[in-house]
Amino acid sequence: MNAKTEKLLSTLRLQPVVPVIIIDDLKSAVPLARALVAGGLKALEITLRTAAGLDAIKAIAEEVEGGVVGAGTVLDARQWDLAVKAGSKFIVSPGAGTSVLDAADQSDIPLLPGTATATEVMQVRDRGYTVMKFFPAEQAGGAPYVNALASPLAGIQFCPTGGISLKNAMDYLSLSNVVCVGGSWVAPKAMVAAGDWAGITKLAAEAAALRG
Protein backbone atom coordinates (compact mmCIF):
# COMPACT_ATOMS: atom_id res chain seq x y z
CA MET A 1 0.00 0.00 0.00
CA ASN A 2 1.48 3.35 -1.02
CA ALA A 3 1.67 6.41 1.20
CA LYS A 4 -1.19 8.26 -0.51
CA THR A 5 -3.51 5.28 -0.14
CA GLU A 6 -2.63 5.02 3.54
CA LYS A 7 -3.28 8.74 3.95
CA LEU A 8 -6.66 8.46 2.24
CA LEU A 9 -7.71 5.43 4.28
CA SER A 10 -6.71 7.13 7.52
CA THR A 11 -9.07 9.97 6.61
CA LEU A 12 -11.96 7.78 5.45
CA ARG A 13 -11.69 5.62 8.57
CA LEU A 14 -12.21 8.60 10.85
CA GLN A 15 -15.96 7.97 10.62
CA PRO A 16 -18.51 5.77 8.84
CA VAL A 17 -20.11 8.69 6.99
CA VAL A 18 -18.31 11.46 5.08
CA PRO A 19 -20.60 14.50 4.71
CA VAL A 20 -20.97 15.65 1.11
CA ILE A 21 -21.59 19.37 1.43
CA ILE A 22 -22.79 21.98 -1.05
CA ILE A 23 -22.08 25.49 0.27
CA ASP A 24 -24.32 28.21 -1.16
CA ASP A 25 -23.56 30.90 1.43
CA LEU A 26 -19.93 31.21 2.50
CA LYS A 27 -20.99 32.53 5.91
CA SER A 28 -22.42 29.11 6.78
CA ALA A 29 -19.27 27.14 5.96
CA VAL A 30 -17.37 27.44 9.24
CA PRO A 31 -20.30 27.05 11.67
CA LEU A 32 -21.60 24.10 9.62
CA ALA A 33 -18.20 22.42 9.66
CA ARG A 34 -17.85 23.00 13.40
CA ALA A 35 -21.28 21.49 13.99
CA LEU A 36 -20.40 18.37 12.00
CA VAL A 37 -17.02 17.97 13.71
CA ALA A 38 -18.70 18.39 17.10
CA GLY A 39 -20.99 15.49 16.18
CA GLY A 40 -18.03 13.26 15.32
CA LEU A 41 -17.73 13.76 11.56
CA LYS A 42 -14.25 15.18 11.12
CA ALA A 43 -13.63 14.45 7.43
CA LEU A 44 -15.69 16.84 5.31
CA GLU A 45 -16.13 16.85 1.54
CA ILE A 46 -16.93 20.33 0.23
CA THR A 47 -18.09 20.10 -3.36
CA LEU A 48 -17.04 22.52 -6.06
CA ARG A 49 -20.59 22.77 -7.36
CA THR A 50 -21.04 26.38 -6.25
CA ALA A 51 -19.03 29.59 -6.49
CA ALA A 52 -18.48 29.47 -2.73
CA GLY A 53 -16.86 26.03 -2.71
CA LEU A 54 -13.19 26.99 -2.84
CA ASP A 55 -13.52 29.83 -0.35
CA ALA A 56 -15.43 27.50 1.97
CA ILE A 57 -12.60 24.96 1.84
CA LYS A 58 -10.08 27.68 2.65
CA ALA A 59 -12.12 29.01 5.57
CA ILE A 60 -12.70 25.56 7.05
CA ALA A 61 -9.04 24.58 6.63
CA GLU A 62 -7.96 27.70 8.49
CA GLU A 63 -10.65 28.00 11.16
CA VAL A 64 -12.13 24.60 12.06
CA GLU A 65 -10.06 22.76 14.62
CA GLY A 66 -10.21 18.99 14.25
CA GLY A 67 -11.67 19.13 10.75
CA VAL A 68 -10.11 17.41 7.74
CA VAL A 69 -11.46 19.18 4.69
CA GLY A 70 -11.43 17.82 1.16
CA ALA A 71 -12.76 18.94 -2.20
CA GLY A 72 -15.47 17.07 -4.08
CA THR A 73 -16.73 17.24 -7.67
CA VAL A 74 -13.20 17.88 -8.92
CA LEU A 75 -13.36 17.39 -12.69
CA ASP A 76 -9.98 18.44 -14.09
CA ALA A 77 -6.41 19.47 -13.34
CA ARG A 78 -7.27 23.16 -13.00
CA GLN A 79 -9.83 22.46 -10.29
CA TRP A 80 -7.36 20.09 -8.64
CA ASP A 81 -4.75 22.83 -8.33
CA LEU A 82 -7.27 25.34 -7.00
CA ALA A 83 -8.61 22.86 -4.46
CA VAL A 84 -5.15 22.00 -3.16
CA LYS A 85 -4.19 25.68 -2.90
CA ALA A 86 -7.37 26.29 -0.90
CA GLY A 87 -6.26 23.71 1.67
CA SER A 88 -7.85 20.43 0.61
CA LYS A 89 -6.37 17.37 2.32
CA PHE A 90 -8.04 14.94 -0.06
CA ILE A 91 -9.74 15.14 -3.45
CA VAL A 92 -12.93 13.39 -4.60
CA SER A 93 -14.03 13.06 -8.21
CA PRO A 94 -17.37 11.73 -9.51
CA GLY A 95 -15.49 9.77 -12.17
CA ALA A 96 -11.95 8.97 -13.17
CA GLY A 97 -11.07 11.26 -16.04
CA THR A 98 -7.53 11.31 -17.38
CA SER A 99 -7.00 14.95 -16.39
CA VAL A 100 -7.77 14.27 -12.73
CA LEU A 101 -5.78 11.03 -12.62
CA ASP A 102 -2.76 12.75 -14.19
CA ALA A 103 -3.01 15.62 -11.68
CA ALA A 104 -3.15 13.11 -8.85
CA ASP A 105 0.02 11.43 -10.10
CA GLN A 106 1.87 14.73 -9.68
CA SER A 107 0.49 15.53 -6.22
CA ASP A 108 0.99 14.38 -2.64
CA ILE A 109 -2.74 14.87 -1.98
CA PRO A 110 -4.70 11.59 -2.21
CA LEU A 111 -7.52 11.10 -4.69
CA LEU A 112 -10.76 9.17 -4.20
CA PRO A 113 -11.69 8.50 -7.85
CA GLY A 114 -15.25 7.73 -8.85
CA THR A 115 -16.30 4.45 -10.48
CA ALA A 116 -19.66 2.90 -11.33
CA THR A 117 -18.89 -0.31 -13.25
CA ALA A 118 -16.54 -3.27 -13.03
CA THR A 119 -14.71 -2.02 -16.12
CA GLU A 120 -14.13 1.40 -14.57
CA VAL A 121 -12.91 -0.21 -11.35
CA MET A 122 -10.40 -2.30 -13.33
CA GLN A 123 -9.21 0.73 -15.28
CA VAL A 124 -8.64 2.74 -12.12
CA ARG A 125 -7.03 -0.28 -10.47
CA ASP A 126 -4.56 -0.35 -13.37
CA ARG A 127 -3.55 3.18 -12.35
CA GLY A 128 -2.64 1.92 -8.88
CA TYR A 129 -5.83 2.63 -6.93
CA THR A 130 -7.39 0.24 -4.45
CA VAL A 131 -9.78 2.70 -2.76
CA MET A 132 -12.53 4.23 -4.87
CA LYS A 133 -15.79 6.12 -4.72
CA PHE A 134 -18.82 4.21 -6.03
CA PHE A 135 -21.12 6.79 -7.60
CA PRO A 136 -24.02 7.27 -8.00
CA ALA A 137 -24.49 4.39 -5.59
CA GLU A 138 -28.24 3.84 -5.47
CA GLN A 139 -28.79 4.63 -9.13
CA ALA A 140 -25.90 2.40 -10.24
CA GLY A 141 -27.15 -0.74 -8.51
CA GLY A 142 -27.00 -0.06 -4.80
CA ALA A 143 -25.57 -2.25 -2.07
CA PRO A 144 -26.25 -5.53 -3.94
CA TYR A 145 -24.08 -4.31 -6.83
CA VAL A 146 -21.24 -3.23 -4.53
CA ASN A 147 -21.43 -6.58 -2.76
CA ALA A 148 -21.25 -8.40 -6.10
CA LEU A 149 -17.92 -6.68 -6.84
CA ALA A 150 -16.28 -7.99 -3.67
CA SER A 151 -15.25 -11.44 -4.89
CA PRO A 152 -14.07 -10.76 -8.48
CA LEU A 153 -12.44 -7.48 -7.47
CA ALA A 154 -10.93 -8.57 -4.18
CA GLY A 155 -8.78 -5.95 -2.49
CA ILE A 156 -10.80 -2.98 -3.74
CA GLN A 157 -12.54 -0.85 -1.12
CA PHE A 158 -15.34 1.60 -1.82
CA CYS A 159 -16.91 4.74 -0.44
CA PRO A 160 -20.41 4.56 -1.98
CA THR A 161 -22.06 7.95 -2.45
CA GLY A 162 -25.34 9.02 -4.01
CA GLY A 163 -28.83 8.39 -2.71
CA ILE A 164 -27.58 7.18 0.67
CA SER A 165 -29.42 8.13 3.84
CA LEU A 166 -29.66 7.09 7.47
CA LYS A 167 -32.22 4.48 6.38
CA ASN A 168 -29.99 2.59 3.95
CA ALA A 169 -26.46 3.47 5.09
CA MET A 170 -26.05 0.21 6.99
CA ASP A 171 -26.87 -1.77 3.83
CA TYR A 172 -23.51 -0.52 2.56
CA LEU A 173 -21.54 -0.27 5.80
CA SER A 174 -22.18 -3.94 6.54
CA LEU A 175 -20.34 -4.97 3.35
CA SER A 176 -16.74 -6.22 3.55
CA ASN A 177 -15.57 -4.00 0.68
CA VAL A 178 -17.02 -0.72 2.00
CA VAL A 179 -14.81 1.51 4.14
CA CYS A 180 -17.37 4.31 4.59
CA VAL A 181 -20.21 6.04 2.77
CA GLY A 182 -20.75 9.59 1.59
CA GLY A 183 -23.98 11.39 2.34
CA SER A 184 -25.61 14.80 2.34
CA TRP A 185 -28.41 14.02 4.77
CA VAL A 186 -26.34 15.18 7.74
CA ALA A 187 -26.49 18.78 6.50
CA PRO A 188 -30.01 19.44 5.16
CA LYS A 189 -30.33 22.71 3.27
CA ALA A 190 -33.22 23.89 5.42
CA MET A 191 -31.29 23.37 8.65
CA VAL A 192 -28.22 25.08 7.23
CA ALA A 193 -30.30 28.05 6.07
CA ALA A 194 -31.91 28.27 9.51
CA GLY A 195 -28.56 28.06 11.29
CA ASP A 196 -29.71 25.02 13.24
CA TRP A 197 -26.21 23.94 14.18
CA ALA A 198 -27.34 21.98 17.23
CA GLY A 199 -29.71 19.98 15.03
CA ILE A 200 -26.93 19.27 12.55
CA THR A 201 -24.61 18.17 15.36
CA LYS A 202 -27.31 15.70 16.41
CA LEU A 203 -27.60 14.33 12.88
CA ALA A 204 -23.82 14.05 12.70
CA ALA A 205 -23.71 12.14 15.99
CA GLU A 206 -26.32 9.68 14.68
CA ALA A 207 -24.26 9.15 11.54
CA ALA A 208 -21.01 8.81 13.47
CA ALA A 209 -22.56 6.05 15.57
CA LEU A 210 -23.20 3.84 12.52
CA ARG A 211 -20.87 0.89 12.20
CA GLY A 212 -20.60 -2.04 9.87
2 to 97, 126, 131: CA distances (angstroms): 21, 14, 11
Q: What pairs with residue 85 in β-bridges?
A: none
Nearest to 162 by CA among 43, 13, 23, 47: 47
* Rounded-to-integer distance, Cα 34 and Cα 16, Å: 18
Q: Which of 4, 58, 89, 133 is catalytic?
A: 133
3-state SS class at 70: strand
Long-range contact pairs involving 31-34 (C-beta distance under 8 Å, separation at least 24): 31/195, 31/197, 32/187, 32/192, 32/197, 32/200, 33/60, 33/64, 33/67, 33/69, 34/64, 34/67, 34/197
Q: What pairs with residue 188 in β-bridges?
A: none
Looking only at the bridges linking them, the beta strands covering 114-115 and 131-134 are: parallel
Could you confirm whether 206 is annotated as catalytic?
no
Could you confirm whether 6 is annotated as catalytic?
no
Break the chain down into helix, strand, coil percent, rounded to 5.
Answer: 45, 15, 40
Nearest to 211 by CA among 182, 183, 169: 169
Q: Which of 45, 58, 89, 138 is catalytic?
A: 45
Catalytic residues: 45, 133
